[in-house]
A and B are shown apart, each in its own frame.
Chain A
Amino acid sequence: MLRVLENIETQFNRYSLLLLLLTTAAAESAFALADKNLEIHGFFLGNFTGRTTGLRPAGKEQSDFLLAEERVRLDLAAWSESIEASLKIKTDFFNDAQAGEFGLDLREAYLDLTTGDFDFRLGRQIATWGVGDLLFINDVFPKDWVSFFSGRPLEYLKIGVDGVRASYSSRALNAVLLVVPFFEPDNLPELDRFFLFDPFGAVLSRPEEKPSTAFDNTELALRLYRKIKGIDISGYFYKGFWRIPGIKPDNFVAPVSLMTFYPELYVYGLSAQGGAFGGVLSFETGYYYSNADNHGNDPAILNSQGRFLLGYQKQLQEDLTLGVQYYFELMKDYSAYKNSFPPGFPLQKKYRDTFTLRLEQLLDHQTLKLSLFSFYGLADDEYLIQPQMSYKFSDDLSASLGANIFGGEKETTFLGQYNKNDNVYLSARFEF
C-alpha cells in the first residue's frame, strides 16, 4: 500500500512540476483560458520588518531588518467537468532583499478527488487541526515560527506537508487520515537574524539528522470527529516525530559538534467546541508520548508531557470580539529530567502555563481592523504582544502595520529569549 502511495506521490511531484511550468505560461494567456475550467489568481505581497531595539545579532547578516521581501503568489485552480476532481497549485516567487536571494516557495500543490463518501487529497498540503487559537496541541503539523515572529501574514505560519489525505464522511462518524512519508520540521529562528538563547552558540558544526524516508518513518495523523448534542467533538492520534529538534553535543563540557535530530513522538488527543455562555467554548487536550526516551533519562530528548487548553470567545458588541485561553503543559518524569540534565544549563519548570488574550475590532464597514493578540507565560513570566492595524484601501489593496513585542524575566525561556527582537512591520498586499 505504502509503495503504491509513494509511486503515486513521485508521479504527482513530476506532474506538478510540469504544471508549474504551464502555470507560468498560462498566466500570460489567462484570458484565453478563462473558459477552460481554469482559474488563475494571486497576489503581490511586500513584507518589511525592522528590529526596534537598535541591536543587531552577531550573525553574518548584521542587519536591522528581520524581513525585507517581495512575494508574488500564483494561485492556480483547475477542475474536471465530468468527475468531482480538481487541482490546486499555490506558488510564491520571492525576493529576499535582506539575504540577496531570489527563490520559489511551493506553498501547496495537490489533486483532489471525491468518490461517494470518500475524499482524497494528494500532494503538498497545509493541514490545521485542533481548537486552539495560536496554541497547538493536536495540530502536529509543521510551523514556520520565523514567519510568525517577524510579522509575515498569519497564513505563512503553516508549512505544507507532502503526503496523502483520505477522508471518510458519514452521519455516524467522520474520519481523516493523513499519511506523510516526508518529514518536515518546524522552521525556528536562527542566530543569523534573531537574538535567541543558545547555550552552544559558539559551536558552528551542527549536522542535522532528519528521519529517513523509510516506510517505518511515515507519519500518520488520524482525526475522528462528529457532533454530539450540538458540540463538535474530535479525537486525534499521531505517530511521527517532534518537529523541534533534540540537540546532542559530542560532549557537554567542551562540545565541538552538535547533532540535531527529531525523536519519535506519539500524540493522543481530544477536543470539544460548542456554543456556551453566549459565546464559543473550546477544550483540547493531548498526551505527548516521547517514545525515544519514555522515562525521561536522556536530556537531549524532550520528555513526555500532557497538554490542556480551555478557551472562550465572545462577541462583545457588533464587530468587537474577545477571545481568552488558558493553556497548561505538564512534564512527565520531571525528577528524571532534573537528574539527567547537565549542571549549568537552565532547567525548564515541571509545568508551563500560558494565558492568551485576543481583542479584535472591525470598523468602517469592516475595512479597518484593529487587533491585539498577546501571550502571557505565567509560570515562566514571559510575554509576546502582537498589536496590528490593517486597512483595506479597496477590494484589491490592503496594508497592515503591526508589532511583535517580546519579553520575560529570563532570557532562557521560550518567549523571553527573543527579548531583543522587538519589531515593527509593514506589509502591503495587492490581489489579482
Chain B
Amino acid sequence: MKARVTMELIDKQGGKRTREMTMLRRDDSEGGKQKYFIYFHEPGDVRGMTFMVWKDPVKEDDRWIFIPAVDLVRRIAADDKRSSFVGSDFTYEDVSGRDVASDTHTLLRKENLGDTNCYVVQSLPAETVDYTKRISWIDMKSFLPLKEEYYDAQNELFRVFTAVRIEEIAVGEGGRRKVFPTVTKRTMNNERTGHRTEVVFQSVSYNLGLSDEDFSERNMRRPPSSWIR
C-alpha cells in the first residue's frame, strides 16, 4: 500500500499542527510480518526524514531513522508499540495495525452504527497495555472498524477512534479487478485531554509490487522519486 498521509494534531484550544508524509507498507503473506516506510514532507524540521519499521509479531520491531541534515541512518530503540506516533493521539500500533492474537475477542451483539450493520466486539488485551478494554463496531460487509472505544483501568472511556470516510480503492482491470475498502479519513480523540488527531489518506494505491528489498537503508537515504514526488 502507498498513501500520502496528512495528520493534524489539534489541541483543546483548537491550535493545529500538521504532519505530511508518504507511507509505503508491505504485508507479508504469512505470519503477520510487515514492513513500512514513512517519508516526511512537512513540517520543516523533519522534512526529508525517513523512518522504517520491520514489524514482527513474535519479537520487538526493528526501527530505523534517517536524518538527512547529518546523513545519518540509525536504529532506534522501540520497546513500546503503544507509544505515540510523532506526538499524535495514534500509537505506532494504530499506524501499522495491532496483531489480532494480542487480544481476546468476544462478540457482544449486532447493532447498527448510523445505517451500517455492525458486529460489536469486546477485546481484552493479553498483556498489560494502556487500555484494559476495547469495544469495536465492525462493519459486517467490509470488516473495517468504524468506531473503537478504549477504556482505562478505572473502566473509564479515554480514547475514541472513528472512521470518518471509507473509499473503495480499485486495483487492476477487467476480471482481475479487485476493490479494497479503505478508511481514508480517521480521527482519534483523547477524552481526558481534549486533544485529537485527524488523519487523511490521499492517492491510496495497492499492490505496487514492492519487494522486501525495497525496505532498505539505500531507499531510506535516497527514496525513489516515484515514492515521494
- A residues contacting B by CB (< 8 A) are 41, 43, 79, 84, 86, 112, 114, 119, 125-128, 131, 154-155, 157-158, 167, 169, 171, 174, 225, 230, 232, 273-275, 278-280, 282, 313-315, 317-319, 321, 362, 365-367, 392, 394-396, 398, 429, 431-432
- Mark each residue of chain B from 73 to 84: 1 if its CB lies under 8 Å from any CB of chain A, else 0: 011111110111
Which DSSP category, helix, strand, loop or mixed, fits chain B's interface? loop
Residues of chain B within 8 A of A127, CB atoms compared: 71
The interface stretch among B37-45, B164-172, B178-186 is B37-45
Q: Which of A114, A279, A392 contacts B79 (CB 8 A)?
A: A279
Q: Does B210 contact A (CB under 8 A)?
A: no
Known A-B contacts A125-B71, A367-B87, A432-B44; A169 and B218 likewise in contact (beta carbons under 8 Å): yes
Are B88 and A313 in contact (CB-based, < 8 A)?
A: no
Are B224 and A84 in contact (CB-based, < 8 A)?
A: yes
Residues of chain A within 8 A of B216, CB atoms compared: 169
Q: Which interface residue of A158, A365, A396 has the most chain B CB atoms within 10 A? A: A365
18 further A-B contacts with Cβ under 8 Å, apart from A112-B222, A280-B75, A314-B79, are: A41-B44, A84-B225, A119-B218, A125-B71, A128-B72, A155-B70, A157-B70, A225-B217, A275-B59, A278-B60, A282-B75, A317-B80, A362-B87, A365-B88, A367-B17, A392-B17, A394-B17, A395-B17
- B residues contacting A by CB (< 8 A) are 9, 11, 17-18, 42-45, 47, 59-60, 62, 69-72, 74-80, 82-84, 86-88, 195, 213, 216-218, 222, 224-225, 229
Residues of chain A within 8 A of B213, CB atoms compared: 171
Q: Determine the residue in chain B with the shortest Cβ distance to A362.
A: B87
Are B44 and A43 in contact (CB-based, < 8 A)?
A: yes
Are B195 and A365 in contact (CB-based, < 8 A)?
A: yes
Known A-B contacts A79-B225, A84-B225, A395-B17; A174 and B71 likewise in contact (beta carbons under 8 Å): no
Known A-B contacts A128-B70, A174-B217; A395 and B44 likewise in contact (beta carbons under 8 Å): yes
Are B222 and A315 in contact (CB-based, < 8 A)?
A: no
Residues of chain B within 8 A of A273, CB atoms compared: 74-75
Are B87 and A278 in contact (CB-based, < 8 A)?
A: no
Distance in angstroms between the alpha carbons of A1 and B224 in the assembled complex: 28
Known A-B contacts A126-B70, A319-B84; A395 and B18 likewise in contact (beta carbons under 8 Å): yes
Are A365 and B84 in contact (CB-based, < 8 A)?
A: yes
Are A366 and B70 in contact (CB-based, < 8 A)?
A: no
Q: Which of A112, A131, A155, A362 contacts B69 (CB 8 A)?
A: A155
Are B77 and A315 in contact (CB-based, < 8 A)?
A: yes
Residues of chain B within 8 A of A319, CB atoms compared: 83-84
Residues of chain A within 8 A of B45, CB atoms compared: 392, 395, 398, 429, 431
Are B82 and A318 in contact (CB-based, < 8 A)?
A: yes
Residues of chain A within 8 A of B77, CB atoms compared: 279-280, 313-315, 321
Q: Which of B43, B72, B87, B218 contacts A174 (CB 8 A)?
A: B218
Residues of chain A within 8 A of B17, CB atoms compared: 365, 367, 392, 394-395
Distance in angstroms between the alpha carbons of A154 and B72 in the assembled complex: 12
Residues of chain B within 8 A of A112, CB atoms compared: 222
Are A79 and B229 in contact (CB-based, < 8 A)?
A: yes
Residues of chain A within 8 A of B18, CB atoms compared: 395
Distance in angstroms between the alpha carbons of A68 and B13 in the assembled complex: 36
Are B71 and A230 in contact (CB-based, < 8 A)?
A: no
Distance in angstroms between the alpha carbons of A279 and B80 in the assembled complex: 10
Distance in angstroms between the alpha carbons of A146 and B216 in the assembled complex: 34
Are B83 and A395 in contact (CB-based, < 8 A)?
A: no
Are B222 and A114 in contact (CB-based, < 8 A)?
A: yes
Known A-B contacts A41-B47, A313-B77, A395-B43; A366 and B84 likewise in contact (beta carbons under 8 Å): yes
Residues of chain A within 8 A of B62, CB atoms compared: 230, 275
Are B218 and A275 in contact (CB-based, < 8 A)?
A: no
A-B contact pairs, 23 of them (CB 8 A): A41-B44, A41-B47, A114-B222, A119-B218, A126-B69, A128-B71, A155-B69, A171-B213, A275-B62, A280-B76, A313-B76, A313-B77, A315-B83, A318-B82, A365-B9, A365-B17, A365-B84, A366-B87, A367-B17, A392-B17, A395-B43, A395-B45, A432-B44
Q: Determine the residue in chain B with the shortest Cβ distance to A367.
A: B87
Are A315 and B78 in contact (CB-based, < 8 A)?
A: yes
Distance in angstroms between the alpha carbons of A157 and B69 in the assembled complex: 10
Q: Determine the residue in chain A with the shortest Cβ distance to B195.
A: A365
Q: Which interface residue of B42, B47, B75 has the most chain A CB atoms within 10 A? A: B75
Question: How far in angstroms is the closest Cβ of chain A from B221?
Answer: 8
Are A154 and B222 in contact (CB-based, < 8 A)?
A: no
Residues of chain B within 8 A of A318, CB atoms compared: 80, 82-84
Distance in angstroms between the alpha carbons of A225 and B221 in the assembled complex: 14
Q: Determine the residue in chain A with the shortest Cβ distance to B222.
A: A119
Are A275 and B224 in contact (CB-based, < 8 A)?
A: no
Residues of chain A within 8 A of B42, CB atoms compared: 395
Distance in angstroms between the alpha carbons of A232 and B76 in the assembled complex: 12
4 smallest A-B Cβ distances: which pairs? A431-B44, A366-B87, A395-B43, A155-B69
Distance in angstroms between the alpha carbons of A43 and B71 in the assembled complex: 19
Question: How far in angstroms is the closest Cβ of chain A from B5?
Answer: 16
Residues of chain A within 8 A of B87, CB atoms compared: 362, 365-367
Distance in angstroms between the alpha carbons of A167 and B75 in the assembled complex: 20
Known A-B contacts A84-B225, A112-B222; A126 and B71 likewise in contact (beta carbons under 8 Å): yes
Distance in angstroms between the alpha carbons of A429 and B11 in the assembled complex: 22
Q: Determine the residue in chain A with the shortest Cβ distance to B130.
A: A318
Distance in angstroms between the alpha carbons of A432 and B84 in the assembled complex: 26
Q: Which of B59, B70, B229 contacts A154 (CB 8 A)?
A: B70
Q: Determine the residue in chain B with the shortest Cβ distance to A363.
A: B87
Question: How far in angstroms is the closest Cβ of chain B from A129?
Answer: 9
Residues of chain B within 8 A of A432, CB atoms compared: 44
Q: Determine the residue in chain A with the shortest Cβ distance to B48.
A: A77
Q: Which interface residue of A174, A321, A366 has the most chain B CB atoms within 10 A? A: A366
Distance in angstroms between the alpha carbons of A322 and B174 in the assembled complex: 54
Distance in angstroms between the alpha carbons of A350 and B147 in the assembled complex: 65
Q: Determine the residue in chain B with the shortest Cβ distance to A316.
A: B79
